[in-house]
């Protein structure tokens, strides 16, 4: 899973800039506390908490299923019809709201079990096995499992297990909780969720198309190039991604199993769809037939149409996000355009031989001692001196700066071996105070790269777009 966060130019104090960015980007660190204030301030009202424990336990249950509607609304694709955001903007907020709903639902269930257990006038077993209460007990099980398997370490260990638990918990909240809830809310609750899920069903079917993966090139490197026939895939904006399913629409698994997102490295006027991916030991995409659910735009239009100065810094497979934007901006004759690609091994440059790209304005930084997150950069606040790893260089012609000079049209004019990116030095010509409103820094890669990019953008008050990958 991945998501994109745009940031606009605001020349204000750093803490105000962070606050504005949190509001614009649906950050859970701002919106979750705000939501809790809104729901809990009127929560305790009229009745004393100590003498009306049962009433407040019931209120927690009602709060959990009411918030499910909001949670489903956050997952609508391709965009949210009410707030005008892309669905990726809400992924982080959706995850934290899901945890909040799960926790208060579990507290609701445990609260009644404890209450019945300590009350000598009732039988806990007889209470729990009553029809409507038992439906709540059944819904309690997948929620409890989800709370454990949603931990990041477990999601990375077995995403499929997490997804199955997520789906079971989701459908139990959608179908079982409205029946369990009292007073009866089944009809209005189902009507609201039906409308939302019909919209989701339309988004999964209206623009879907069957495509053929015709080429897959790995060349013993960590990056894989995948070529997909254009077919009937609708046009997309540069930087968009598509979601691929192994199953056809008539297969129930198409609707139940997760789809894989891949950023498109080509432009819509090309005959094929280029994907650049970093795969696990078992590849998801091989030569064969797949279903593309849809394409989704994640890049602010102002970056594509109004920008004048753009620097693109990507790491590893993040080149897939940068290439489409880069190739489009090359047609606009900007004041400044620079593409920097950070990779572990120079063999990864085979990707450029597969993609239709003009390598002018493109520089590659090859550092073979990279950490596990794919890239090394020097923080904007770091010492500006160059650092080189001990590398056995092949016989290649280099200039005084250590850059590789080559006449291969598919190889960048400059390839830096063992050198870490120094933001202040290597982007020294990027920032012009008179054009900050139309200056954009675009980053894609691991968290360390994005944090450095964010710091650089904050220091120089330029617009910032970042995309990163996470389960």
Residue 114 per-residue DSSP state: H
- Regarding whether 175 and 123 lie in a shared domain, the answer is yes
Extended beta strands in 196-308, E state: 209-217, 223-229, 241-245, 260-263, 272-278, 288-296
In angstroms, the first-to-last Cα distance of the chain is: 5
Which of the listed residues 296, 318, 340 is the one where a domain comes to its end? 296
Q: What integer pLDDT is reported at residue 368 of this predicted model?
A: 67
Q: What integer pLDDT is reported at residue 29 of this predicted model?
A: 85
Which of the listed residues 266, 296, 326 is the one where a domain comes to its end? 296
Model pTM greater than 0.85? Answer: no
Q: List average pLDDT for each run of 10 residues in the chain, which is 471 residues long.
A: 44 64 77 87 72 85 87 77 68 90 90 90 89 90 89 85 88 85 82 85 88 85 87 90 92 88 92 87 84 89 92 93 94 92 86 84 76 48 36 38 47 81 91 90 92 90 82 36
CA separation for the pair 420, 438 (Å, rounded): 27
Looking at the 3D structure of the chain, how many domains does it have? 3
- Regarding whether 264 and 188 lie in a shared domain, the answer is no
- Regarding whether 243 and 195 lie in a shared domain, the answer is no
Q: Which pairing describes strands 309-315 and 439-444: parallel, antiparallel, or unpaired?
A: parallel
Q: Could you tell me the two tokens for 265?
A: 């490295």
- Regarding whether 389 and 244 lie in a shared domain, the answer is no
- Regarding whether 328 and 237 lie in a shared domain, the answer is no
- Regarding whether 236 and 200 lie in a shared domain, the answer is no
Q: Which domain holds residue 49?
A: 2-204
Q: Is the dihedral of CA 245, 251, 254, 256 positive or negative?
A: negative
Quick check: 308 and 334 in contact, CB under 8 A? yes
- Regarding whether 397 and 445 lie in a shared domain, the answer is yes
Q: What integer pLDDT is reported at residue 14 of this predicted model?
A: 61
Q: Which pairing describes strands 2-7 and 463-469: parallel, antiparallel, or unpaired?
A: antiparallel
- Regarding whether 376 and 271 lie in a shared domain, the answer is no
- Regarding whether 217 and 151 lie in a shared domain, the answer is no
- Regarding whether 289 and 222 lie in a shared domain, the answer is yes
Per-residue model confidence as pLDDT tens digits over 366-392: 876 444 444 445 544 443 333 333 333
CA separation for the pair 141, 146 (Å, rounded): 9
CA separation for the pair 127, 112 (Å, rounded): 9
Residues 6+ apart with CB under 8 A from 403: 363, 413, 414, 415, 416
Q: What integer pLDDT is reported at residue 383 of this predicted model?
A: 37
- What are the C-alpha distances in Å from 70 to residues 23, 64, 196? 17, 10, 10
Residues 6+ apart with CB under 8 A from 139: 105, 172, 173, 176, 177, 180
Q: What integer pLDDT is reported at residue 121 of this predicted model?
A: 87
User: Domain of 282: which CATH number?
Assistant: 2.40.30.10
Which of the listed residues 296, 313, 337 is the one where a domain comes to its end? 296
- Regarding whether 343 and 288 lie in a shared domain, the answer is no
User: Domain of 425: which CATH number?
Assistant: 3.40.50.80
- Regarding whether 287 and 325 lie in a shared domain, the answer is no
């Amino acid at each position: 899973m991945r998501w994109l966060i745009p940031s606009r130019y605001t020349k204000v104090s750093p803490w105000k800039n962070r606050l504005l960015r949190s509001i614009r980007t649906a950050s859970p660190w701002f919106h979750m506390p705000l939501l809790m204030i809104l729901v809990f301030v009127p929560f305790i009202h009229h009745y004393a908490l100590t003498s009306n424990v049962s009433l407040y336990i019931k209120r927690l249950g009602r709060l959990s299923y009411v918030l499910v509607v909001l949670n489903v609304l956050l997952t609508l694709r391709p965009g949210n019809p009410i707030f005008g955001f892309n669905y990726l903007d809400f992924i982080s907020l959706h995850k934290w709201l899901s945890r909040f709903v799960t926790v208060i639902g579990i507290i609701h269930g445990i609260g009644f079990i404890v209450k019945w257990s300590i009350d000598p006038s009732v039988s806990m077993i007889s209470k729990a096995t009553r029809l409507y209460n038992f439906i709540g007990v059944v819904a309690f099980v997948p929620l409890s499992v989800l709370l454990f398997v949603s931990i990041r370490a477990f999601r990375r260990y077995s995403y499929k297990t997490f997804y199955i638990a997520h789906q079971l918990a989701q459908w139990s909240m959608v179908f079982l909780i409205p029946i369990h809830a009292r007073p009866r809310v089944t009809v209005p609750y189902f009507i609201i969720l039906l409308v939302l899920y019909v919209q989701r069903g339309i988004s999964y079917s209206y623009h879907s198309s069957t495509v053929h993966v015709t080429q897959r090139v790995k060349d013993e490197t960590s990056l894989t190039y995948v070529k997909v026939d254009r077919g009937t895939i609708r046009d997309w904006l540069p930087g968009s991604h598509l979601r691929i399913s192994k199953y056809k629409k008539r297969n129930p698994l198409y609707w139940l199993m997760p789809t894989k997102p891949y950023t498109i490295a080509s432009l819509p006027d090309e005959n094929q769809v280029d994907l650049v991916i970093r795969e696990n030991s078992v590849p998801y995409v091989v030569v064969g037939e797949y279903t593309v659910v849809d394409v989704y735009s994640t890049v602010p239009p102002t970056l594509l149409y109004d920008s004048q100065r753009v620097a693109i810094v990507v790491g590893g497979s993040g080149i897939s996000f940068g290439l489409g934007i880069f190739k489009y901006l090359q047609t606009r004759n900007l004041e400044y355009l620079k593409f920097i690609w950070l990779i572990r091994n120079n063999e990864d440059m085979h990707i450029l031989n597969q993609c239709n790209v003009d390598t002018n304005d493109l520089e590659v930084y090859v550092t073979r001692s990279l950490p596990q997150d794919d890239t090394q950069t020097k923080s904007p606040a770091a010492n500006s001196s160059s650092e080189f790893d001990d590398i056995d260089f092949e016989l290649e012609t280099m200039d005084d700066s250590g850059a590789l000079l080559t006449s291969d049209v598919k190889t960048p004019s400059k390839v830096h071996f063992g050198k870490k990116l120094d933001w202040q030095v290597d982007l020294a010509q990027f920032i012009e105070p008179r054009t900050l409103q139309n200056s954009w820094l675009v980053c894609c890669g691991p968290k360390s790269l994005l944090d450095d990019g964010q710091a650089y953008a904050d220091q120089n008050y330029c617009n910032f777009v970042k995309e990163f990958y996470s389960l």
